[in-house]
Each structure stands twice: as structure tokens, then as C-alpha cells.
Amino acid sequence: MTFINMIYLDNAATTKIDPKVKKTMEPYFFEFFGNASSLHFGGLKARQAVDEAQAKIADFLRCQAKEVYFTSGATESDNWAILGLTRAFKRQKNDFKPHIIISQIEHDAILAPAKELQREGVEVTFLAVDKNGLVDVKKVSQAIKSNTILVSIMYANNEIGTVQPIKEIGKIIKEENKKRKNKIYFHTDATQAVACLDCNVEKLGVDLLSLSAHKIYGPKGVGILYIKNGTPIEPIMLGGGQQNNKRSGTYNVAGIVGLGRAVELLLNKKVINLEVKKIKQLRDYLVKEIKNKIPRTIVTGDIKNRLPGNASFIFAGAEGESILLMLSNTGIAVSTGSACSSGSLAPSHVLVAMGVKPELAHGSIRVSIGRFNTKKDIDIIIKKLPPIIERLRKMSPLQ
Amino acid sequence: MYNEKVLKHFSNPSNQGEIKNADGVGLVGNPTCGDMMRIFISVSKNKKGEEIIKDIKFQTLGCGAAIATSSMLTEMAKGKTIAEAEKIGKLQIAEELGGLPAVKMHCSVLAHEGLGEAIKDYRSKNKKLKK
């Protein structure tokens, strides 16, 4: 089985490395393979490469280079933000019971550490979302208490593509912080947003931001956590003391170089704006055609505040994993939020939080269009998907 | 996640469809869980006078394993006597498929239940006729 000539429409899951990124990474596998911490010549070039990548990312986020910390990916960055900041507070004040606010539709990499903190005695508010998966800024404000120390809301949701009002939430927190001694810190998981939305940390008003390389046409296994100067945070990765003792572990030099280059490509606003426009056009075309060709189709998520490449559907009377497998058989890769495809057999927590009934959530399919998709790709899925849905509906005991 | 045999049964299932005026019909599962199966059986007597499952068909709404186990179940039961079909074990369908991931074993159980309900339905219809 090969992946060539197969239509990849699951860019929200991961992306192909951009050829420019691959080229920039290559010297760091065989020529400049040294450990960036080594004091000899082997380490020098590696160290330089790490510094350069760090500078590029700082440029993109409009922050200082030393505020950019490399991790193994967004999962680690999310864990670090949630656990590291909260534990720093707990250590400072022994009898203080901190409170954190997150949304119900956060990625598991935020939900899991938050639940872990609950077990450690921390108060957690899981904010509800509306039927389109949007967080209400007023509800964030209402949830804030005297012991609140952290708010974490994802910039854009991976399943339904809804873009959250991060700037507005940032403003609320800033206002709140003017009237209180215990500052509230604001984190956002920007993983899905980086490729197409503005990530200027000042404008967003965030103290912490996670991002990952493999969602932006870079390699898997590397990401960053932006930590604003002065943010109290403990390390969760202990060891050799790299990155100012904040995150130990040998620098993934080639990966970091790839990440830096992937981010650098995003700095070309003109190119990226055209790319976003193209992706959005393809997505809108797909949605229109699918709604026309397949009866009983529901489009989930906010129509307006949405990632340009994300299209998420529910096809009543057909099950998501089966749709996915049949599409895969025809050479098309997409994703599903169906319970049957999850290890736990629970339907997508995002769809549940939006109020989608379990029986409908089973018929969910996500298409995520990316940099390398063409109109031909979309025409092919428009052609192949309707007969698949028809076939599955015919096979069903419910007619 | 799925082996080749499971994928084959999924992509090209056996005995998918409906039997009009079936001798027995069993409906199992529920839309909330996401798996539903309807099993139809036609029963006739063989030369020995034993009741055999002459024909069996399925309709399934569910994941890859749900469709594959439905298909395999019908292959295993078709042509067997009711007594033999009743002996098919609830995990045996998964075994015949060469195994299923742990989270999907319930599909084998569901298919087994579907056949059980179809046979039960046949028996109760038969009783009514005899009366």
C-alpha cells in the first residue's frame, strides 16, 4: 500500500512536510548532527540552528526569543502549561486551592491534565459551549473567582473548526487582572490555528501558547510552548537542565530546524493569504456540493467563525467509521468523530458538548483541506462520497 | 486496526439484504450505541426433517467490525440446522474473522444476539401457526 496518488483530506490530523522544510532539515541528520548542548565544534552548528529557529518562531509570535521553549509537541506543551503553572501556584501557597477554567471542547491534551489536577485537589470549571461549539466570552467572565489562576481556551477546535474569541477573552482577563492581586494567566492551544490565523501573542493577550510542527507542514515530534516573561511555571520534564532548567532533554535539532522553517513559511503574509483563500474556496465548494448531492446532511460547527479548511458533516443513517473505511478503500483519507472509531467507544466529546445526540454523532465525518490539496481532490470526494452514503444507508436496518 | 479478513468482509459482505416474509427476524442494538443489526432467516425442513436455515440475510448500521461480523455470522449460519446454528458461540464470530480488536468484540456478541433473536422470533411464529 502506498500513499502516492491517494487523496489526503485529513490535514487536521497531520500534514505532509513541505519540501522546503525537508530541504532545510536535511543537513542536520548527517552533517550537523551534533548535540546542541555540546561544547565542541559538533555542538556549535546545532546550537546555532536551534537559536535561528527560535528567533523565527519569536518573530512569528511577536515575542522575545527567550520566551520560546521547545517541546516534543503540542501535547507536551499543553500538559506543561496546565500542570506546570498550577503546580507552581500550589507550591507557592501551601493551603491555597487554585481554580482553573477550560472549555468542554478542549483537546484531550488539555482535558487530561486538568482532570489529573482535579484529583490533586484543584478546582476545575469546564465551560459549556453553544450548539456551534463557540465559547461565550460572558460565561468566561462569570466563571472567574477569587482563586482563579488560569484560563485555557483553544484558539480553534480540531474537530469542528470553530475559532474561539481569544482576543476578547484576553481583554476580559486583562481587565479582571487590573482589579486583583492574584493575576489570572491565559493559555491557548493554537495548534490548529497557526497555519492560517494571526498568532501575535500581544494582540491575543495570552501568557502561554502551544503549537506543533506537524500541523503546519513540519515534522512530527516537535513543538513549542510560548511562556511570557514572568509567568510562574514549573518544569514537568526534569533532567539535564536544558532550556534554562525549564525543559530538560536533548534538543531535537533537525525537528526544531524543521519547525522553524515551517513557521518561517507562514511569515510570508502574501503567500499565506492566497493559500487561506484557496483553501476556503475549496472548502465552501465541497460543503455546497455535498449538501446538494447527499440528503439528510448536517454541517456542524460555526459557519462564520471557522477554520478555512475544515468541513465537518453528520450523515444521518450512516456510521462514521464505515464511511471512513469505504472512502479509504477508494483512496481518500478523512476523519470521523464516531464513537466506534475511538478507543473508548464514547462519541466525540466535542459533539456531545455541542448538544449533538449520540445517534447523530456516530455519523460524523471531518474533512480538513490543506496546502497541497487541489480542486481535483475535492471533485473526487464529491464524486465518491454520495454513493458510499447511499450504500451504507441501504445496508441499514433503519430506513 | 482490522486484519485482512475483517476488511474483506467489510468491503464485500456476504448475504447483505432483506428477506421479505422471513420466517424469523431479529433486531438488536440501538442507535445510541451506534450499532444496529437486523437478521432475517428463512427456515425449511431437510430430508431428515430437521429445520435448516435455508437463507439468512442482514441489515446493519455500524462500524467496520459490525458489518464484518454480520457478514461472517450469516456465512456461519447459512445451511446449518437451527440446533447447529444455536451452538455458534458469541465470540466465535470474531474468531472466524481471525480476531477483532478488544473494543470491537462486542460486535461479535451483537451478531450472535441477532441470530438468537431471529430464531426466537421464528419459534414464536411457529408456535402461533401450530395453534
Q: For residue A217, which of A162, A287, A270, A271 has the smallest C-alpha distance?
A: A271
Nearest CA in chain B to A364: B34
Angle between helical axes of A253-266 and A269-293 (0-180°, round to 10): 80
Percentage of residues in chain A having pLDDT higher than 70? 98
Q: What is the pLDDT of residues B41-77, one digit of tens each?
A: 999 999 999 999 999 999 999 999 999 999 999 999 9
CA distance A330 to A9: 13
CA distance A179 to A164: 25
CA distance A66 to A87: 22
A-chain residues near B27 (CB < 8 A):
397
Of A90 and A294, more confident:
A294
Beta strand A7-8 with A332-333: parallel, antiparallel or unpaired?
A: parallel
Least confident of A95-99, A185-189, B11-15, B125-129: B125-129
Q: Does A133 touch chain B (CB under 8 A)?
A: no
Q: Does A336 touch chain B (CB under 8 A)?
A: no
pLDDT at B131: 58
Computed over every residue of chain A, the mean pLDDT equals 95
pLDDT at A340 over 80: no
Number of Cβ within a 10 Å radius of residue A236: 18
Q: What is the pLDDT of residues A26-56, one digit of tens each?
A: 999 999 998 999 988 889 999 999 999 999 9
* CB-CB under 8 Å, B11 with A322: no
Nearest CA in chain A to B31: A359
C-alpha grid cell, residue A110: 488539555
Computed over every residue of chain B, the mean pLDDT equals 94
CA distance A236 to A220: 21
Domain at A19-266, CATH from 3.40.190.10, 3.30.420.10, 3.40.50.880, 3.40.640.10: 3.40.640.10
Q: What is the mean pLDDT of residues A335-345?
A: 76
Long-range pairs of A353-359 with CB within 8 A, sequence gap ≥ 24: A353/A104, A353/A105, A353/A128, A353/A129, A353/A133, A354/A105, A354/A129, A354/A130, A354/A131, A354/A132, A354/A133, A354/A160, A354/A300, A355/A131, A356/A300, A356/A314, A358/B31, A358/B32, A358/B33, A358/B34, A359/B31, A359/B32, A359/B34
CA distance A225 to A210: 5
Beta carbon pairs, A and B, within 8 Å: 69
Considering only CB atoms, A358 lies closest to which of B7, B32, B63, namely: B32
Percentage of residues in chain B having pLDDT higher than 70? 98
Q: Which of B6, B77, B107, B115 is catalytic?
A: B107
Sheet holding A297-299, edge to edge: A297-299, A310-315, A364-368
Considering only CB atoms, A395 lies closest to which of B16, B27, B31, namely: B16
Domains of chain B are: 4-130 (3.90.1010.10)
Q: What is the pLDDT of residues A233-254, one digit of tens each?
A: 999 999 999 999 999 999 999 9
Give the global pTM.
0.93
Structural domain spans, chain A? 19-266, 269-395
CA distance B88 to B110: 13
CA dihedral over A72, A78, A79, A81, signed as positive or negative: positive
Least confident of A219-228, A264-273, A296-305, B88-97: A296-305
Task: Return the residue in A296, A323, A325 with the most chain B beta carbons within 10 A, the one to mutate for interface testing.
Answer: A325
Report ipTM for this prediction.
0.94
Scan residues 358-387 of A and list those with Cβ closer than 8 Å to B: 358-359, 362
pLDDT at A3: 55
Q: Does domain A269-395 have CATH number 2.60.120.20?
A: no
Instruction: Assign 3-state DSSP to chain A and report helix, strand, coil percentages, each to 5.
Output: 45, 15, 40
pLDDT at A321: 94
* CB-CB under 8 Å, B38 with A340: no
Backbone angles phi, psi at A29, to 5 degrees: -95, -40
CA distance A251 to A311: 36
Instruction: Looking at the complex, report in whole angstroms how far the Cα of residue A396 sits from the nearest Cα belonging to chain B.
Output: 5
Cα distances (Å, whole numbers) of residue A397 to A224, B16, B75: 49, 11, 19
Considering only CB atoms, B34 lies closest to which of A326, A329, A362, namely: A362
